[in-house]
Amino acid sequence: MSLELMAPLMFGGLVVFLLLGYPVAFSLAATGLFFGLVGMELGLLHPSLLQALPERVLGIMANSTLLAIPFFTFMGLILERSGMAEDLLDTIGQLFGSIRGGIAYAVVFVGALLAATTGVVAASVLAMGLISLPVMMRYGYSKRLASGVIAASGTLAQIIPPSLVLIVLADQMGASVGDLYEGALVPGLGLAGLYAAWVLVVSLVKPEAAPGCPPKSRTLYGSALVAKVFTSMVPPLVLIFLVLGTIFLGVATPTEGGAMGASGAIIMALVKRKLRWDLLKQAVESTATMTSFVMFILVGSTVFSLVFRGVNGDLWVEHLLSDLPGGTLGFLIVVNVMIFLLAFFLDYFEIAFIMVPLLAPVAQKLGIDLVWFGVLLAVNMQTSFLHPPFGFALFYLRSVAPKNIKTTDIYWGAVPFVLIQIIMVAVVIAFPGIVTSHVSKAAGAISGSGADEIRRQLEAPENPASPPSGSDEMSRPDEGKGDTKSEIERMLNQQQ
């Protein structure tokens, strides 16, 4: 067996393990170790290659940026269990309910607000499904519109900061978490606006599908309604400033912002007298489970990537993608189609850990801004929550939906919102300025007109782009992990 065949066989072996249903973390690690041992047995790899593995694993454990994952997860779980979603939905429903499609607008608004505070898709979908869906059915909303808008609004937690997937993408790409947060804010809010626009279109074309609530359903008017809106809105807005405002202003790192958000969530629960010992215990256990899940996949992907690079897998992927017809635009189209199809079978964490380390070096060589590329992938991966038949948001909604709502209603209701997300992917490609113009510290960010930025993204340079400097908080994926390009080349030269 030659070294050139190792990379495609290794990638194919990983696909086989995943299709057989083995856990992603163990599939990655087992594939990497197996092909590493086979390569050494055949004399294709030097044993010193795997000596970098302990240092890489320790580098993951010492990565302080990944602390933001348990902080934001804990914050979201505490807020979800403290009743903030119920208060917001009830108050905003009272405010918008009288207009046609008002409850659907309220769901979109609250979904965006929950995304900026909890950052947890499951919490948003379950809360809105339990509270808003029965109300929408009672007042005669279309089953497909009601289920679709709830599932789609819940997935905004994937793209609107503080999104967990943006933290993972930043770590895998060697970019700054704060930069990705800044870049993703406008596309995330743009998606919320497009969801609301779709509700408006449905309410105009088919008024009976999105009726207004009867006056008798409203219990608050005048100053009482204003006071309720104020008291319900101020706490989450303060929390959003504590988390995102301090990060955007440069006062706090994402990890510090997550710690402040977790502290703020505990304070809010205490003020509302919702902080009980059983609630705190459940939040801590769920946070530990989620964090362990992420870390196991990250360790497994590190084992896989170390051996994959050792067999020149990164060069194999680079040649496959950089030689595509259409240059950089062809690369972007193929990558987005591939991510879209993979999202039918893999969730966003698995895509981020498996595909992003392979795609980011090629994108960098083609001169694509990694922050812009990360936001583009995040918008695309958001569709993984809405893809029939395996979208997790659809499963969450199915678990709490009334029995009179069929699974086919939920699936068909999600289709228009999947198309809206695809439209947003095209918008980000065509107008990269909606990402890069809002990033103050993105490595390689270029000022200028929208036309200049479009030309920059779609024109590949003749020479490879220099690696981004990154921020003080984030380091390159290979630094501190014992797997730089030069180390692998040196090992392979020694073996030869």
How do residues 156-173 score in pLDDT, each as one tens digit?
888 888 888 888 888 888
- pLDDT band of residue 222 (cuts 50, 70, 90) is low
What mean pLDDT value characterizes the chain?
Answer: 78
Is pLDDT at 195 greater than 90 in this prediction?
Answer: yes
Is pLDDT at 116 greater than 90 in this prediction?
Answer: no
Find tokens 């009726």 and name the residue.
211
Q: How far apart are CA 22 and CA 473, in angstroms?
A: 34
Is pLDDT at 264 greater than 80 in this prediction?
Answer: yes
* 388-405 mean pLDDT: 79
Find tokens 């893809």 and name the residue.
387
In this prediction, residue 77 carries a pLDDT of 80
**Highest averaged pLDDT of the listed ranges 58-62, 185-189, 266-270, 485-489:** 185-189
* 310-336 mean pLDDT: 81
* 295-301 mean pLDDT: 85
- pLDDT band of residue 416 (cuts 50, 70, 90) is very high
In this prediction, residue 220 carries a pLDDT of 62
Q: How far apart are CA 150 and CA 111, in angstroms?
A: 8
In this structure, of 92-96, 131-135, 150-154, 208-212, the range with the lowest mean pLDDT score is: 92-96
- pLDDT band of residue 255 (cuts 50, 70, 90) is confident
Of residues 110 and 118, which shows the higher confidence score? 110
| 3 state DSSP class of 142 | coil
406 phi and psi, to 5 degrees?
Answer: -80, 160
In this structure, of 67-76, 145-154, 321-330, 402-411, the range with the lowest mean pLDDT score is: 321-330
In this prediction, residue 194 carries a pLDDT of 94
Cα 286–chain centre separation: 19
Of residues 19 and 376, which shows the higher confidence score? 376
Is pLDDT at 198 greater than 90 in this prediction?
Answer: yes
**Highest averaged pLDDT of the listed ranges 76-90, 122-136, 188-202:** 188-202
In this prediction, residue 221 carries a pLDDT of 65
In this structure, of 186-200, 337-351, 409-423, the range with the lowest mean pLDDT score is: 337-351
Percent of the chain beyond pLDDT 90? Answer: 6
Find tokens 């899940």 and name the residue.
293
Is pLDDT at 210 greater than 50 in this prediction?
Answer: yes
Give this prediction's pTM: 0.74
In this prediction, residue 41 carries a pLDDT of 83
Which stretches of 437-484 are DSSP H helices? 450-458
In this prediction, residue 495 carries a pLDDT of 42
CA geometry: angle 424, 191, 243, nearest 5 deg: 120
Is pLDDT at 314 greater than 60 in this prediction?
Answer: yes
Is pLDDT at 272 greater than 70 in this prediction?
Answer: yes
* 95-106 mean pLDDT: 80
Is pLDDT at 239 greater than 50 in this prediction?
Answer: yes
344 phi and psi, to 5 degrees?
Answer: -65, -25
Q: Which residues contact 243 (CB under 8 A, 6 or more apart)?
A: 75, 116, 117, 161, 162, 257, 258, 260, 261, 264
Of residues 230 and 359, which shows the higher confidence score? 359
Q: How far apart are CA 133 and CA 138, in angstroms?
A: 9
* 256-284 mean pLDDT: 85
